[in-house]
Amino acid sequence: MSGLSATEAATIERCAERPMLDQVQSWAALNSGSTNSGGLAQMAAALADAFAALPGELALREPAPVELLDETGRTRPVEHGRNLHLAVRPHAPVQLLLTGHMDTVFAADHPFQSLDWRSDGALRGPGVADMKGGIAVMLAALQAIEGAPQAAQLGYEVVINSDEEVGSPGSAALIAQAARGKQAAFTYEPALLPDGTLAGARPGSGNFSILVEGRAAHAGRNPGDGRNAIVAAADLALRLARCARPGLTINPARIDGGGPNNIVPDRAILRLNLRPATPDDQRRAEETLASLVAEIAREHDVAVTLHGGFNRPPKPLDAPAKRLFALVRDCGRLLGQEIGWRDTGGVCDGNNIAALGVPIVDTMGVRGGAIHSAEEYLIVESLVERAQLSALSLLRLAAGAAS
């Protein structure tokens, strides 16, 4: 391919020699839903075996403690799996971060558990695109560049977490620690579109559980003595929904609580998601939420406690990120791949990495589609394509092309 050095050409050829499809099929056969601790342990062990082929220090790190507000209004611990962490050449002049996630949205009892081939040659299966295919691409690219002389200039950390699909509560600290001092980062979420388009700017995301505590009373004899927590929570949901606007989506998703029809309910929990487009939108959303919580507490004479927060900050496409996107685009052109990007409403660990000041392209994974559904599929030829794109981009970063 014109424009490539002999070393670069040899490196991208090595990508095609990696057994990526076999890895995807093997890994996708393991259910690693975010709540399946046994399956996640199996997946972590399989990934540790695969990534042991790389140099450096590899470990499976325990998650940070996590608590959840349950349907009764009590906090309880939540179990998450261990997270793979690999550190290679920490003193090399160029330091990068590569991340992925081993969990899927398909629980152990979900009916979508097997793989099959579509008539167009795509592979359908749970997690094949999101993101077991991406993990295979990451590993192939890293193995390929380890054979290049530029590898001596390149240090990197790899984090593959077990809880990304539920917001990374147990792995966020590990990712933040690994991101420190890095010049750039790649995350291996699938391409935004089947044609390979990358995700550009992303909104933030906050998940909240709002506990409303009222007062029980007999629904017939003395209802006026009660304070209806369900009504208060519903009122709050309606008021919040009316605050949605350009730059902020608000989704009241669920109300837990209540009991027998003849008792005024004294407890309710409103679950909701907010997605601000910019840091200013997030600040205004936090102010709006605090104001409405206070109003509801006062007007309904109930106690209201806010749990949760914005676990994904907004990710604007700033100047350093644009330079990194341009490098990936240019590498794609050298490989005969047209790489573009567009903004999206989804969020991922890339939001958190970008918020730490590290430029990132967070959709370096495979081409495919229908993720989070029983029609999820992988375009098989994209395994080699995207591994080559990563390998060349990493080599150019090692050579200081993005500086």
Q: What is the mean pLDDT of the chain?
A: 97
Candidates 3.40.50.300, 3.40.50.2300, 3.40.630.10, 3.30.1330.60; CATH matching 6-202+315-398: 3.40.630.10
Q: In the chain, what are the domain boundaries?
A: 6-202+315-398, 205-312
- How far apart are the C-alpha atoms of 276 and 247, rounded to whole Å? 6
Neighbours of 260 (CB within 10 A): 7
- Residue 403's pLDDT band, with cuts at 50, 70 and 90, is very low
The pLDDT of residue 73: 92
Distance of CA 176 to the CA centre of its chain: 14
pLDDT tens digit sequence for 78-130: 999 999 999 999 999 999 999 999 999 999 999 999 999 999 999 999 999 99
Q: How confident is the model at residue 1 (pLDDT cuts 50, 70, 90)?
A: low
Does residue 2 register a pLDDT over 90? no
Query: Distances from the Cα of 311 to the Cαs of 61, 164, 172, 198, 247, in angstroms?
Result: 20, 11, 9, 22, 17
Q: Considering the chain, what percentage of its residues have pLDDT values greater than 70?
A: 99
- Bridge partners (DSSP) of residue 307 are 209
Q: How far is the C-alpha of 159 from the C-alpha of 174, rounded, in Å?
A: 8
DSSP β-bridge partners for residue 96: 156, 184
Residue-wise pLDDT for 224-244, tens only, equals 999 999 999 999 999 999 999
Q: How far is the C-alpha of 216 from the C-alpha of 218, rounded, in Å? A: 7
Q: How far is it, in rounded angstroms, from Cα 253 to Cα 249?
A: 12
Q: Which CATH architecture has domain 205-312?
A: 2-Layer Sandwich (3.30)
